[in-house]
Each structure stands twice: as C-alpha cells, then as structure tokens.
Amino acid sequence: MKDSRVIHELSSPGRTGVSLPDRDPEAPVSADVIPQSELRSDLPLPEVSEVDVVRHYVGLSQKNFCIDTDMYPLGSCTMKYNPKVNEVAARLTGLASIHPLQDDGQVQGALELLHALERLISGISGFEAISLQPAAGAQGELTGMMIIRAHHLRAGERRGRVLIPNSAHGTNPATASMCGFEAEEISTGSDGELDISSLDAALDDDVAGIMMTVPNTLGIFESRIQEICDLTHAAGGLVYCDGANMNAMLGQVLPAALGIDVMHLNLHKTFSTPHGGGGPGAGALCVTAELEDYLPVPRVVRNEDGSYERSSRFPHSIGRVQGGMGNFGNLVRAYTYIRSLGASGLKEAGEWAVLNANYLRAKLSDVYDLAYDRPCMHEVVFAGLRNHAAGVRTLDVAKRLIDLGFHPPTIYFPLIVHEALMIEPTETESLETLDRFISAMRQIAYEAEHAPKKLADAPTSTPVRRLDEATAARHPDLRWAPKPQD
Amino acid sequence: MLAEIGIDSADELFHDIPRSVRDPKLAVPPPMSEMEVIGHLRDLSERNSDLEHQTSFLGAGWYDHYIPAFVDQLLLRSEFYTAYTPYQPEISQGTLQSIYEFQSMICDLTGLEVANASLYDGGSAVAEAIGLALNATGRTNVVVADTVDPVYRNIAATYMEPLDINLSVVKNWGLDSDGTLRETQHSLIDAIDGETAAVVLQRPNFFGWIEETNDVIKAAKSAGALVIMACEPVALGVLTPPGELGADVAVGELRHLAGPPAFGGPGAGYFAATKSQMRRVPGRIVGRTTDVDGRRGFVLTLQAREQHIRRAKASSNICTNEALVALGATIHLAALGRNGLKRLAELCIGNAHACARRAWPRGYAVAVERPFVREFPLKCPRPAAEINAALREMGVLGGFELGRYWDELTDYLLVAFTERNGPIQQERLIESLQEAV
C-alpha cells in the first residue's frame, strides 16, 4: 500500500524546503514597522525539506491516471494528446516572464501572438471578432450571455428567458442564471436532436436567445441548426453555441456559417492545452461583426504602423472578465498547436476524431445499447449494456475499465440518457489503441454476464478502491487538522 | 475502419452538416515542423522585454518571485498536467489529495474553515465572493473600498452588471497637502447600512498599506453584512489572518507562488469562507473519506452546490478551475512551510522598508502615512509615466503608474518589492530615478 499521509503529517520542526537569500542586516523586520496587533502569532504550515516535498508529490502523481498513461476517452472533455513542444513554447522567458502591466512597447511579441491567435480562431470558426480573455469555457459562456443581454438592452429590450436543450452541459443553465436570465428547458426529439416544435412553442419576444451545443452532448450534429437559428432570429433572439465539441467540426464547417451569433471555444479541449488536473483552461469567445462592440476590454488593436496596443476605448464593451489578457500561457500553447497542425492538420484532426468515434460505435453497438442509432460525430453515447438482465450498472463498467488500464468515459451524462456512457476517443488514438479499448469493453460486457463480481468489486488495481462519497458529503472533512475534528 | 463502420468514405459521417457550408477553406497557414514552430515562437518571445533582463519594481497585484526549480519540475509530471478533473477518484488520488492539502494550507493562511479547489483568478474570486454574500443575505447593495485592486473591482462590476446590484465603490483615501496618501475609513462606515450585503476590503490594500479595519468590520457585522477580504498570500505569512479579523470570505491571487507572471494568466484565485457559508461556496471542494477497505482516500464532495448537479440553481457556473496553478502554489507553500513563508514575507517587507528609508533624490517622496507591507506609493517630481519611460531606457521597471486609475495620482508610482529587490536593485532604482529627473 502506498503512503497516503498528507504533507502536514511529514512535518518535522525546523525544516524548510527552500533556500532563500539572506536578509539585508540593515533592513527592518515586520515587528519594527507593522503594529503587533496586525501580525499573526503562528502559521501552522508543514515543515518539510525539498526531498520530502519532491518525494511526496512524485508519490501523489503516481496515483493519477493521465493522457500520457493511456487512452482517456472522457466524453465532452476532448482528452487528446498534448504535444510537448507546447510546454517549451509557453516557458520561453520572453513569453513566461512578462508582467501584465508592462508598457505595450515592451510586449509587442506577446500582443502580436494574441492578435495572430485571434485571426487564426476567426479563420477556424468563421466569426469576425474574437476575445481571448475568458479563463475557461464557463467564463466564455458567461461573457457570451452578457453580450447577448447587452445587445438586447441597447435595442431597448429587457428579455428575461433563455432556452436550453435538456441535453445541455450544466454550465449552460448556471450561466444563464448568473446573467439574470431564467433558464427554460427545451426537449430533445426521438432522433436525438432538438425538438423544433418545442422550440417553436417556447419562442416569443421575452426570449433573449437559445444556448445550443453543436454537435450536441449526444454526439449528434444538429442537422436543423440553420432552421433553429432562423426561428430564433425571427423571434428577435440570438443563438449562443457551447463550443465544447468543436473538435468534431474542425475544418469540416465554420460554425458561423450555420447562423450562430456567439460561441465559445475551449482551447484546452480543441487546441490541446493540457487539462492540468482540472484547469487552467482557456476560453475564446467568438462573435459576429454585429456584436463586436460588446467584447471584453482591453482588446488587442493593430495600429497602422504595424505595432500593437491594448485598448479599452470600446464604450459598449461589457467590461473586463479576467485580470490579464486571458490565460496567456495557455493561449501560447494553443497558438503553437494551431501553427504546428496548420489548415490541413486541423481538418484531418476533425475527420479522425469523428472516424474514431464511429469506429467505436460500430464495434461496440452489439453489446452496448446505443442511445440513438445513427452515425455520431466526435463522441458516441451508449445507454449502458445491452443486456440488462445481469443488473450491471454503468458505474460498474466504468470501474472495471480502470482495472483494464483505461480511463473510463464520462458516465451518467447527458442526463437524458439512462445509464449513459459518453465516449470520446479523439483523433490522437491509433487503431491499435482503439482495438485494445474495444476488446476491454467487450470483455466487460462478457464479464457482466459471466463474472459480475469482477465488476462489482472493481477497481482492485488502484491505490484505493471505491470510496464512501455519502459520508464525505454528510460529515465534511475538508482540511487537515492536527487534532481530530468534532 | 471504413468497412467496419459500413461506409465508403469518411465524408459520409458528416452528412448531417448542411451541404452548402461543408468542407470550408480554412484561413490558417500550412503546418510547421516542430523545429520551425519553436523557432517562430522564440522570435515572438524575443520581441518582448522580459523581467529577467530588467530590474523590476512592478507589482500591483502581480509579483515577480523566484520560484524554486522543483516546483515546475513537479508540475511537468505528466500525471499532474495531462489529467483532468478527478471524476474517477480511484485513479485521481494524486490530484484529489493535493487539492485537500491546498484547501488545508489556504485555511491555515486565512484563518477560515472552508476553502475550495481554486477559481480563475483574484478578480473573479472577488466577484464570486460578492455572489455568495448576495445569496446569503438576500440583499442587493455592495460596498467596495476604492483601495481594492481596480482590476478586481472591474471584474466584479462586470459580473454584477446583469443582476441589478448596487455596487458602490467608496473612496476611502485622500491626499494631504504635502501629497501623502492617507486613509478615510469613515467613508466606508458611512456607506454601510441595513441593505448592505457585503463590504469588500483588500489587505494589504492596492497602495500597499494595512488599513484600519476593526471599525469597518464592526459596522458591517452590526448591519448584518458579510465582510470580504482580498489578501495577498505572501503577506499572510506575517499578517493576522482575515478570519481572525472577522472576515466571512477571504480571496486572493496565487499566481506568484506558482510561476512567473505569464502576462497575467493563468492565475489562480483562492476562496475561503467560514463554515456557515460552506454550502454556498462556488466550485470544486475535496473531502477526506475512506474506501471499502477502510483506507484513507479523497473525493470531490458537496457537489450538490455545483452546476453539473444543481444546474440553474448552482452556486456558480464554474467548472474547470486553475488546478495546476493551485498545485504549484501548494508545492511552493509546502516547501516554504511555517518558517519559510514568514522569511519570504520578511524579505519583501525588509526590502520595501529599507528602500523607503533611503535618501531619495530631490523631488521624490514616499507618500504613505499608514504601515505598509511590501509596496508603497512614491510621489515623483514629474508625471510618473515620463519617469517610467526614462527608467525603461535604463533597464528598470519603476513601478505601476497610479495615474492610470486615478487622475489625481498622475505623479505617483506604486513601487513593489519581492526577495529579488535587494540592496543592489534598490541602489539601481534610486540612481535611475535621479537620472530620470
């Protein structure tokens, strides 16, 4: 069993893990210049050496599964391989060691990179204007919905509702609420696409817009998206698109050409900036020329002489959403990725992403129950095992997959699919890897009937086995305390 | 593969995309080899004047600390940086335990009981804290001190704009006849009433000084308002934790504990609150539990607050946070530890105060009456932008021009100190200022 002590338990009085420069002996100390009442008496941080720290966190890292371990087909998260060169690029001194408040003249390379990345994303999405400020997809959504609100307000309209398909990511309704809108659910038809008649019934002059996900979270391209956009526009609403699934459309279609008005892209998904154990991400917000005035400030502007500046002279802007110019380090990685792949590589990525998902669909649909029996885009959604007789749940399938060496797919999402298994292989998995995954999934289907205990007991190969989440929520223990908590 | 799928060409898989818009030409240049692309990036990189090749006194929320080599080496472990949100706890114990350790250290630093796994940055953390206060009190008025970082205030204003919230920025400072900045906390106290949901303060404030907050906090408490404090984490190595002062929520920026400023992102905001606000805290939270064999383990918990469960009624829409930056801060804080963080804070304070006591060239004056920590306003004999332009020519970044936010402070520089601004750098600053006049 691996050590599961927290860093505080390794503490030994007097140790420290850093070598700091000596103090200037002439310099005052805090007690000389700050009143005693403003100073703390103690700081209960751990006391450990550099070796302790390194071994502890290397040890922790060894308890993680990651893309560099093996296939990580987490649906809707686009866990593609992250090229190492991106890390080198982001760590170049001139791109890493620059301060957001430096004078524009000192950061022309950074501003040029931002401007160029905006143009590349414009070329990939078809939208005229881009903001790289949102720090993640959900912040991109928030920014986008604020822009839709600002657009209506400028026209003198205070619209109160936003329509959201019931297959949507949870961030969509949460975003609508944060923006002061009431979220209204629109149902999904039997073909896995938005039900047009429900949309039609819901549209009126109180609807600010609709938040679509294309392809949707069932992995299906909304074939009537142009009609959806037309209907919404006719009612005076705007169309927001959650771009989490952009990987399927790379080089296949420019989303702007479908009639969408506002869309965010998750650069950490589509453009391969590493997911970091839950972030940082980077959002890019794309809008039509009509909505450009509302984009966050400051914006990068190219002057006639070819120099770049940051400008806040956009009076209709919704304001600032992030402290700098966005998650710049990740923007450098995304830029590096796009330039590496180029137009042809991006197109190929989109095509392989879709091809790989359909290969999994074809090879697994006799043992897993397809939620919607039609070709999929970048991900395929199953409604659990076909054979329900054994009573094996999707959770068990997922846990057994861990023992067979893979990260499980997204499970129990979208909410409208019973026992959902949402599998997104991405384009970076080879045919051999896909075949290994398929054979693992088929083995599990077999075991579900013939050795169900293997599934119920899984995982057994991991540092810990199934964890008691109910107790964790009922009696929250959220921080280390030297004495037992009451 | 095509045969297995039952199609003749991959194109068939895209039939749901309307024909008229299918297969566009991408306005993206052709591919580049790895050698070419890194050459191109290096070229862009070299067109920036980085902090490593200058003497920098620029801070104002983003501080240039030396980051020990092992921090980045550990962050570059594939298992940390190429994993995602720990949805499957059995194969994510590394991430989960490190977040639990992070939450523990943030609680230790702030003197509060609950911390989340991080938010995007200090600014969005202020906005989310205000959101919590609105939710907790059912009120719609918020009082924000003018001495809170203007960037944080701007982000909060953007977040609040759609919600019909009355966000009042209250000026709590003024200029003496000799040009010294002094504080006027009574203006904050006057602005608090029974409709106030929250009072937002910063410690040390944007100008670098420690505000007298006891009476403000007392006024907020008696009005039933929450107290939100933005606190810089290195300073908390020596300062009284906000929880002890009576803050209900503490937030702040951690970027400078994890890596170089990276032009302002990715940062990481920390968010800590009292136990009574636990179920209103935004974002991911990790809890300790046991597995079926009774072994210690860690899981995402209290998820009923979050968007993927609660949807439109969630405490926030945040999903992806800044986990890797928070991990960098965790590793650095662990290595610094009880004594190291204090020593680091003392180095910053020592440098700032030693420099403040130097003989300044004619026309320059340290312009603060309150005790300050590692940053102070410096009054210049000419507009600070002109001084800075001259300093840049000498390879010195003189500090932040306060006139960019306040017209009456056009002649002021906000000068910041870290452990990298020792006696040699201080002499360089003084000489350059002399030469700039």
Mean pLDDT for the stretch of residues B248-252: 98
State which residue of chain B sits closest to A355, comparing Cα positions: B10
A&B contacts, CB < 8 Å = 675
pLDDT for residue A2 is more than 70 = no
Is the Cβ pair A323, B373 closer than 8 Å? no
Nearest one of A177, A479, A470, A173 to B302, comparing CA atoms: A470
- Determine the Cα–Cα distance for residues A458 and A400; give it in Å rounded to an integer: 5
At B191, the pLDDT band (50, 70, 90 cuts) reads very high
Query: Closest Cα to residue B332, out of B277, B387, B255?
Result: B255
Judge: A110–B87 Cβ closer than 8 Å, yes or no. Answer: no
Contact B38 A173 (CB under 8 A): no
| Tens digits of residue pLDDT in A355-387 | 999 999 999 999 999 999 999 999 999 999 999
Specify the range with the lowest mean pLDDT, choosing from A204-208, A379-383, B305-309, B380-384: B305-309
Residue B417 contacts residue B57 (beta carbons within 8 Å): yes
Residues B335, A175: C-beta atoms closer than 8 Å: no
Report the percent of chain A where pLDDT is more than 90: 97
> Can you tell me the distance from the alpha carbon of A66 to that of A77, in angstroms, rounded to the nearest whole number?
13
Task: Please tell me the predicted confidence (pLDDT) of residue A483.
Answer: 61
Is the bond preceding residue A274 a cis peptide, omega within 30 degrees? no
Q: Residue A449: what pLDDT?
A: 94
| Overall average pLDDT of the A407-428 stretch | 97
Round to whole Å and give the CA distance between A134 and B400: 24
B25, burial (CB in 10 Å: exposed 0-12, middle 13-18, buried 19+): exposed
Name the region of B234 (left: φ>0; alpha: ψ -120 to 50; beta: rest).
alpha
Is A478 part of the contact surface with chain B (CB cutoff 8 Å)? Answer: yes
Pairing assessment for the beta strands B114-115 and B269-273 based on DSSP bridges: antiparallel
Q: How far apart are CA A248 and CA A348, in angstroms?
A: 10
Residue from the list B42, B93, B373 with its beta carbon closest to the beta carbon of A464 = B93
Say whether B419 and A351 touch across the interface (CB within 8 A): no
Looking up tokens 């959101």, which residue turns up? B131
CB-based contacts of A31-34 (< 8 A; 24+ apart in sequence): A32/B353, A33/B349, A33/B353, A33/B371, A33/B372, A34/B210, A34/B238, A34/B239, A34/B349, A34/B371, A34/B373
A67-85 pLDDT, tens digit each? 999 999 999 999 999 999 9
Nearest C-alpha neighbor of A81 from the set A422, A430, A355, A405: A430
A319 → chain B, closest CA residue? B158
Taking alpha carbons only, the member of A252, A278, A429 closest to residue A347 is A252
Q: Are B324 and B79 in contact (CB under 8 A)?
A: no
Torsion of CA B392, B394, B395, B398, to 10 degrees: -50
Tell me whether A82 touches chain B (CB under 8 Å): yes
pLDDT at A390: 77
CA distance A145 to A180: 10
Q: How many whole angstroms separate alpha carbon A226 and alpha carbon A372?
A: 22
Residue B388 near residue B54 (C-beta atoms within 8 A): no
Stretch 247-306 of chain A: residues touching chain B, C-beta under 8 Å: 249, 251-254, 257-258, 266, 268, 274-282, 296
Are the C-beta atoms of A57 and B384 separated by less than 8 Å? no
User: Is residue B374 within 8 Å of residue B417, measured between CB atoms?
Assistant: yes
Contact A167, A188 (CB under 8 A): yes
Tokens 């600053």 label which residue?
B429
**H or E segment to which residue B142 belongs:** strand B141-145
Question: What six digits make up the tokens of A88?
Answer: 């080198």
CA distance A329 to A133: 12
Quick check: B117 and A278 CB within 8 A? Answer: yes
Average pLDDT over residues A274-285: 96
Among residues A329, A7, A323, which one has the least CA distance to residue B252? A323
A350-to-A252, A355, B234 alpha-carbon distances in Å: 7, 9, 45
Q: How confident is the model at residue A486 (pLDDT cuts 50, 70, 90)?
A: very low
pLDDT reported for residue A358:
98
Note if the pTM is more than 0.90.
yes
* Average pLDDT in chain A: 96
Averaged pLDDT for residues A339-368? 98
Q: Residue B157: its pLDDT value, please?
A: 98
User: How confident is the model at residue A3, as a pLDDT?
Assistant: 79
Residues with Cβ within 8 Å of residue B37, at least 6 apart in sequence: A85, A89, A336, A339, A340
Mean pLDDT computed over A457-472: 97
Task: Output the pLDDT for position A360.
Answer: 98
A484 touches chain B (CB under 8 A): no
pLDDT tens digits along B88-147: 999 999 999 999 999 999 999 999 999 999 999 999 999 999 999 999 999 999 999 999
Question: B295 vs A1: CB contact, 8 Å cut-off?
Answer: yes
Dig out the tokens for A381 from the structure: 């959604």
The closest alpha carbon to B325, from B119, B151, B60, belongs to B119
**Chain A residues in contact with B162 (beta carbon < 8 A):** 146, 149, 178-180
- Classify A157 as helix, strand or coil: coil
User: Cβ distance A312 to A298 under 8 Å?
Assistant: yes
Say yes or no to pLDDT of A247 above 60.
yes
* Residue among A417, A387, A440 at smallest CA distance from A188: A417
Dihedral pair phi/psi, residue B386, rounded to 5°: -70, -40
Q: How far apart are CA B178 and CA B357, in angstroms?
A: 18
Count H helices, E strands: chain B?
15, 17
Minimal Cβ distance to B90: which of A77, A79, A464: A464
pLDDT above 70: residue A1: no
B160, B142 contact by CB (below 8 A): yes
Q: Of B7, B80, B349, which has the smallest distance from its Cβ to A30's Cβ?
A: B349
Burial A158-180 (b: 16+ CB within 10 A, else e): ebebbbbbbbbbbbbbbbbbbbb
Nearest to B402 by CA among B381, B386, B385, B390: B385
Rounded mean pLDDT of A277-295? 97
Token representation of residue B197? 């949901």
Q: Which residue type is seen at B425?
A: Q
- The Cα A466–Cα A458 span in angstroms is 8
pLDDT-based confidence at residue A267 (cuts at 50, 70, 90): very high
What's residue B215's pLDDT? 97
Q: What is the pLDDT of residue A484?
A: 53
Residue A436, min C-alpha distance to chain B (Å): 14
Contact B250, B202 (CB under 8 A): no
SS3 B432: helix
Give the pLDDT band of residue B340 (cuts 50, 70, 90).
Answer: very high
pLDDT tens figures, A118-159: 999 999 999 999 999 999 999 999 999 999 999 999 999 999
DSSP B176: -
Chain A residues touching residue B95 (CB < 8 angstroms): 60, 64, 277-278
Query: DSSP for A375-387?
Result: --SS-EEEEEES-
Total number of residues shown for chain A: 486
**Assigned token pair, A405:** 């060496």
> How far off is chain B from A246, nearest CA to CA, in Å?
13
Which of B297, B337, B371 is opposite residue A38, by nearest beta carbon? B371
Supply B27's token pair.
């306005």
Are A277 and B336 in contact (CB < 8 Å)? Answer: no
For the cut 50, the answer to whether the pLDDT of residue A485 exceeds it is no
CB contact under 8 A, A323 and B338: no
B289/A467 touch (CB, cutoff 8 Å), yes or no: yes
Distance CA A65, CA A73 (A): 12
Measured in degrees and rounded to the nearest 5, phi and psi for residue A324 equal: -120, -130
- The mean pLDDT of chain B is 97
Token pair for B278? 């636990």
Predicted confidence (pLDDT) at residue A389 exceeds the cutoff of 80: no
Query: What percentage of chain B reaches a pLDDT higher than 90?
Result: 97
Q: What's the CA angle centered on B219, arms B414 and B402, to 5 degrees?
A: 10
Pairing status of strand B196-203 against strand B226-231: parallel
Q: How far apart are CA A287 and CA A308, in angstroms?
A: 21
